[in-house]
Amino acid sequence: MSLSFYACKKDNTIEEAPKTTAYVAPSIQNFRTMPIDAANPMTVEGIALGKKLFFDPILSRDSTISCSSCHKQENSFSDPRPRSRGVDDMPGPRHSMALINLAWQKDRFFWDGRVSTLKEQAGLPIEDPLEMHLPIAQAEQRIQRHPEYVDMFWKAFGTKTVTKDLITKAIEQFEKTLLSYNSKFDKYARGEMELSASELRGLDIFKTEKGDCFHCHSSTAPEVFISPDRTFANNGLDSVSSVLDFADFGLGKFTGNTNDYGRFKIPTLRNLAFTAPYMHDARFATLDEVIDFYNDGPKGSLTLEPIMREKANKRVELTGHWGLNLSTQEKADLKAFLLTLSDSTFIR
Ligand code: HEC
Ligand code: HEC
């Protein structure tokens, strides 16, 4: 007989697995319903366990680093350091990413898209030598030694055996509860608040050919502001004559396809007020620098997103400018709009 879903109490009677409480996601008027993952149903108990694990340095080799060391709540679960630092103060190769409304980002994770689920993702930083650097078997053993954790696994999953599968399931459940939906823009979308004249002009620049932002960062997916039609793009950060000259191959590093070199995951635009510096390599310290970059126009390379090249060529034809050629006021308007996507209730 298998006892895996039961546990023997001291008096040798068999303890039945406790009932879990299903998590009910808040219904958010301007959002689509949160997608449900049948492979990992969210429960109040699973989320509580995932939250404890997320903030606990127990998952790093020297017990100094937790997920929250590089995904800090006050920075919308990103990291103000251009390069996050793992155990032994080792810098990683890329800038950390903000964790917001992840349930709606079901495609691919990491700047290079190398994993397809949050569950799969959660196991990687634990073992990564530049992050927490702890063999997963040791992580399991360590957690197994804590009666408080064992009790939480029992309550969440009906087993007292700690496994990688359950650790990562719990973390995934918690991450999906990192919901941000009270930005000024959300309140505007729900008809609770007006945007200022400048913010409205900025929105117009954002969603029209004037700014051309919407091809990649779209308000039709308001939960994440990532276009439903595109997940990765080369937005023209670097001019290289051969794709082999990109300092980071991005998506191409994962797929091995040279057409993907220099393409990166399109990031959310939510909470930009808290997530500086920007881009996979943190090259821009401020939003003004980001806007100046787009305003100058994309730098050329073979994998530059075709739509960006097309629009820039058209501008040259019509106006003689490769870049957006926005005025100082228009740049300020675009920035004012972008900042309406920041939700200060989320970082507390
Ligand atoms: C040492 C710093 C560090 C630690 C510790 C760390 N992360 Fe990260 N995290 C990063 C960086 C840097 C990236 C981007 C890496 C890349 O693209 O190669 C990232 C990316 C992610 C992403 C992808 C987000 C997206 O939009 O694609 C998720 C999810 C994530 N981390 C969750 C976690 C969890 C869960 C833990 C703990 C088990 C953790 N991280 C620990 C630095 C860290
Ligand atoms: C062709 C697709 C595309 C277009 C068009 C585009 N972006 Fe981006 N954007 C991206 C990609 C891809 C990244 C990440 C690039 C990287 O790090 O290598 C990015 C990054 C950003 C970031 C940094 C976010 C962060 O967390 O690091 C901001 C802000 C931003 N874009 C705003 C805009 C604005 C404003 C416009 C319009 C003026 C715009 N983008 C147009 C694809 C695009």
Residue 310 CB neighbours (<10 A): 12
Thinking of the domain 7-175, which architecture would CATH place it in? Orthogonal Bundle (1.10)
CA distance 104 to 83: 26
Cα-to-centroid distance, 80 and ligand 1 (Å) = 13
**Domain residue ranges in the chain:** 7-175, 184-339
Amino acid present at 81: R
CA distance 51 to 45: 10
CB 55 within 8 A of CB 127: no
Counting ligands in written order, the one closest to the CA of 94 is: 1
pLDDT at 6 over 80: no
- What is the separation, in whole angstroms, between the first and last Cα of the chain? 49
Longest dimension (CA), the chain: 85
The tens digit of pLDDT for each residue in 257-314 reads: 999 999 999 999 999 999 999 999 999 999 999 999 999 999 999 999 999 999 999 9
The tens digit of pLDDT for each residue in 314-327 reads: 999 999 999 999 99
Which residue's CA is the closest to the ligand 2 atom numbered 15?
A: 279
Probe target for ligand 1 pocket from 49, 56, 83, 84, with the most ligand atoms within 8 Å of CB? 84
CB 193 within 8 A of CB 331: no
Write phi, then psi, for 145 (nearest 5 degrees): -75, -10
In the structure encoding, which two tokens stand for residue 247, read together? 């300092």
Mean pLDDT of the chain: 94
Sequence-ordered list of residues with C-beta below 8 angstroms from that of 328, at least 6 positions apart, any chain: none
CB 193 within 8 A of CB 184: yes
Cα-to-centroid distance, 79 and ligand 1 (Å) = 10
Which residue reads 């309550």 in tokens? 155
In the structure encoding, which two tokens stand for residue 323, read together? 């870049």
Q: 189 CB under 6 A from ligand 2? A: no
Stretch among 3-17, 49-63, 196-210, 332-346 having the lowest mean pLDDT: 3-17
Nearest to 284 by CA among 327, 237, 343: 237
Probe target for ligand 1 pocket from 62, 99, 118, with the most ligand atoms within 8 Å of CB? 99
DSSP 210-264: TT--TTTS-TTSTTTT--TT-SEE--S----SSGGG-SS-BHHHHH--GGGTTBE
Residue 100 CB neighbours (<10 A): 27
Cα-to-centroid distance, 200 and ligand 1 (Å) = 34
Counting ligands in written order, the one closest to the CA of 293 is: 2
3-state helix, strand and coil shares in percent for the chain, rounded to the nearest 5: 40, 5, 55
pLDDT at 74: 97
Which residue reads 């823009």 in tokens? 185
The tens digit of pLDDT for each residue in 119-160 reads: 999 999 999 999 999 999 999 999 999 999 999 999 999 999
Number of helices (H), then strands (E), in the chain: 12, 4
Counting ligands in written order, the one closest to the CA of 224 is: 1
Quickly name the fold that domain 184-339 has: Cytochrome Bc1 Complex; Chain D, domain 2 (1.10.760)
CA dihedral over 232, 237, 239, 244, signed as positive or negative: negative
Q: 232 CB under 6 A from ligand 1? A: no
- The pTM of the full predicted model, rounded to 2 decimals, is 0.95
Determine the 3-state secondary structure of 79 from DSSP: coil
- Closest atom of ligand 2 relative to the 78 alpha carbon: 26
Q: 176 CB under 6 A from ligand 1? A: no
Q: 264 CB under 6 A from ligand 2? A: yes
In the structure encoding, which two tokens stand for residue 22, read together? 């299903």
Q: 173 CB under 6 A from ligand 1? A: no
